[in-house]
Amino acid sequence: MPSETAIDLNNNPLTLWNGPLGLPDFSRIGSGDFGPVFDAALAGHAEEIDAIAGSADAPTIENTLAALELAGDPLDRVSAIFWCMAGTNTNDAIQATEREISPKMARHFSAISMNAKLFARIDDLYQRRASLGLDPETLRVLEKTWKRFVKAGAKLDEAGKKRLAAINEELASLGAKFGQNLLADERDWVLFLDETDLAGLPEFLRNAMAEAAEMRGQKGRYAVTLSRSIYEPFTTYSERRDLREKAFRAFIGRGETGGPTDNGQVVKDTLRLRAEKAKLVGYDSFADLKLDDTMAKTPPAVLELLGPVWRKAREKAAIDQAGLERLAAAEGSNNPLAAWDWRHYQEKLRAEKFAFDEAELKPYLQLERIIEACFDVAGRLFGLSFVEKKGIAAWHPDVRVFEVRNADGSYRGLFMADHFARPSKRSGAWMSALQSGYQLGKGSTPVIYNIMNFAKAAEGKPCLLSLDEAKTLFHEFGHALHGMLTDVTWPSVAGTSVPRDFVELPSQLYEHWLTVPEVLEKHALHYETGDPMPKQLLDKMLAASTFGAGFATVEFTASAMVDMAYHSRSDAPENPLAFEAQTLERIGMPDAIAMRHRTPHFQHIFSGDGYSAGYYSYLWSEVLDADAFAAFEETGDPFNPELAEKLRRHIYAAGGSADPEELYTAFRGKMPTPDAMLKKRGLLPMMAGEEL
């Protein structure tokens, strides 16, 4: 790659996307190419910002707000490719660039936020906003932009600006380090097993473990990895308690190794800097800062939701635990129930209560068929169609590309999907965009992608999903639809650019359609016979759908409460892991259940601050999604066309163009209570008159 001074941003594969279908030409992109292009794009963006800020013309929406929104296109493009590859197919060169570019990006955007001349122009527009005759979306963008600058330090004195910029830079480095440490722990740990170690494991899991072992050079053996697609079914079905414990301790100990990948100091420094940052910009705590622009607004409002849910979940888990201990004793176990036992005996209790083994579902949940189900539902609700385009190079050979069209045949955008786990990919599942959809300027069509971490099946075998994995596929596709259906003018409110506790509504709502009987009858076909899922099995699955709700809600809500406890303090705990333990003891965490995400591997809140003081938002959005799907149920038609159109217009297409409460009320007519969510989770009180 040439030197920085020779970079032509108008003719570089990272910024000029002239590959098939308007995508980047990934065949021309190397892992070591990013650094100089980033430097040139940052410099170019800085020049654009200086031109906007230094304009001699009076501020207008066009020459200030619109110019600011459209500035930095080359930087947006190289960033989109880089962060995609950093998460999905990283290597030493990309990780080195990540460590270098994260603080540079933080420094760059801090400088923009603290540019006094630029803020003066925005502030001028903001103060005159009532007289400018703005449409509601433009007014909202102006108000959000002004507030974002203020929260980013625009009103600080020079010393305050300098300190805040340094904090942002250090936080960016810490976030990158946290994620890389965790990826290293997940990549490097593996437990190789032989045939004699596989008691209780179903065929689908044996096949996945065999493939994982072969990928790691151990053909003929079986590998337990820390991918949830292998770890969770292994600890569910393995009859070897000693091996379940080994896997559990490795999984729960990610980021807490005591070696070079230990995240303890990273967490401590992150919390300290976040607390200082909040005070600098005038907030009592980092949670107050983060919640200021959400539906919840304040930490007490979050706890008003979490508290009742926590109490009901813990009560339900205690009832279930008694049943698990009974089963363990019947098998001759004299050990207290431990966290590595819960999934194992919970599955046995499910079979006893409902004559239902979740492994029975696997043959009917083929990845290809569930993808078709996602597309089918999107077609029936929103008129979208998806056509796969073969042979297009992307960031990895596993990636698939689909052209998306509207009901009238017009082009809507591209959808890309990367389904399988590999050592170079961070764990979890997510949605993001190479390109957002908006109308400002020349406009832009969306290029949206979903990332999964399913265990790849052995050669010639279909990839079979668990019910949870199938729901994850629907969940992330719901996010993708939020990005693809966007119909707004301004880039900063396009797609998923909404408050954190609203962003999970479109994704969690979409999960409901997976278990609509007519969807399963059409798409849940046995991989060998092609027969649809038997009605008896479907009925048992639906009857058992809330089984284990106590466990699932406890492990999630504990993580949300620890997140809020960390960030609602006015200072940072001296020993975060001790504080985690104290918080769990204070709220009465059951000994036999672990947090879904312990502090040292809690990527949502420490690998960047996307969900920091915001992990609760899944539950907040679930209150909305349960109520929203109830609207369809009330009509007796899960594809009611009138409701589907309101859902498209007010939720999926509206992005952040209006206040979330306004959008939800436009769809539903009112804001919900938590009752529908508690009922959906099987936590609603059974006794009439019992208070939540």
pLDDT band of 357, cuts 50, 70, 90? confident
48 counts as catalytic: no
Report d(CA 664, CA 672) in Å as an integer. 9
Could you tell me the maximum CA-CA distance found in the chain, to the nearest angstrom? 83
Question: For the chain, what percent of residues have pLDDT higher than 70?
Answer: 98
Q: What secondary structure, in 3-state letters, does 91-103 show?
A: CHHHHHHHHHHHH
> Quick check: 3 pLDDT over 50?
no
Rounded (5°) CA angle 118-122-124? 115
Q: Residue 182 half-sphere exposure, CB side, CA atoms within 13 Å?
A: 28
What pLDDT digit, counting tens, does each position of 602-612 carry? 999 999 988 99
Extended strands (E) in 264-397: 385-389
Report d(CA 65, CA 378) in Å as an integer. 34
> Quick check: 359 pLDDT over 90?
no
pLDDT at 690: 32
Report d(CA 653, CA 485) in Å as an integer. 5
Question: In this structure, what are the phi and psi dihedrals at residue 634, rounded to the nearest 5 degrees?
Answer: -65, -25
pLDDT at 685: 53
Q: Which two tokens stand for residue 281?
A: 């910009």
> Quick check: 1 pLDDT over 60?
no
Q: Which of 98, 169, 476, 622 is catalytic?
A: 476
pTM of the model: 0.92
Query: 549-567 and 617-635 helices cross at what angle (nearest 10)?
Result: 140
Query: Based on the number of CB atoms within 10 Å of its own CB, is 397 exposed (0-12), middle (13-18) or buried (19 or more)?
Result: exposed
pLDDT at 459: 84
535: left (phi over 0), alpha (psi -120 to 50) or beta: alpha
Q: What secondary structure, in 3-state letters, does 40-63 show?
A: HHHHHHHHHHHHHHCCCCCCCHHH
Report d(CA 494, CA 654) in Å as an integer. 8
Report d(CA 583, CA 494) in Å as an integer. 37
**Contact between 234 and 224 (Cβ < 8 Å):** yes
Number of H helices, E strands in the chain: 26, 7
* C-alpha closest to that of 125 among 82, 44, 41, 61: 61
At residue 15, what is the residue type?
T
Q: Which residues contact 647 (CB under 8 A, 6 or more apart)?
A: 381, 628, 667
Residue 417, beta-bridge partner list: 400, 450
Work out the mean pLDDT of the chain and round it to a whole number.
95
What pLDDT digit, counting tens, does each position of 493-509 carry? 999 999 999 999 999 99
Report d(CA 554, CA 587) in Å as an integer. 11
Residue 405, beta-bridge partner list: 385, 411
Residue 192, beta-bridge partner list: 223
CATH for the 366-523+617-681 domain, from 3.20.20.70, 2.60.40.10, 1.10.1370.40, 2.60.40.1890: 1.10.1370.40
Mean pLDDT of 284-295: 96
Residue 292 in 3-state DSSP? coil
Q: Name which CATH class applies to 20-155.
A: mainly alpha
> Quick check: 687 pLDDT over 60?
no
Q: For residue 588, what is the DSSP state?
A: T
Residue identified by tokens 């068929």 is 369
Report d(CA 434, CA 418) in Å as an integer. 14
**Contact between 489 and 439 (Cβ < 8 Å):** yes
Q: Residue 316 half-sphere exposure, CB side, CA atoms within 13 Å?
A: 25
**Contact between 635 and 643 (Cβ < 8 Å):** yes
pLDDT at 688: 32
Q: Which residues contact 639 (CB under 8 A, 6 or more apart)?
A: 380, 381, 632
Mean pLDDT of 64-92: 97
pLDDT band of 77, cuts 50, 70, 90? very high
pLDDT band of 287, cuts 50, 70, 90? very high
More confident residue, 544 or 50: 50
**Contact between 476 and 411 (Cβ < 8 Å):** no
H or E segment to which residue 286 belongs: helix 286-291
Report d(CA 543, CA 565) in Å as an integer. 36
Residue 387, beta-bridge partner list: 403
Lowest mean pLDDT among 272-281, 370-379, 452-461, 468-477: 452-461
> Quick check: 160 pLDDT over 80?
yes
Report d(CA 481, CA 431) in Å as an integer. 10
Report d(CA 16, CA 11) in Å as an integer. 6
What pLDDT digit, counting tens, does each position of 189-229 carry? 999 999 999 999 999 999 999 999 999 999 999 999 999 99
Domain boundaries, the chain: 20-155, 189-253, 366-523+617-681
Residue 395 in 3-state DSSP? coil
Q: Which residues contact 681 (CB under 8 A, 6 or more apart)?
A: 313, 546, 549, 552, 553, 622
**Contact between 440 and 490 (Cβ < 8 Å):** yes
pLDDT at 120: 98
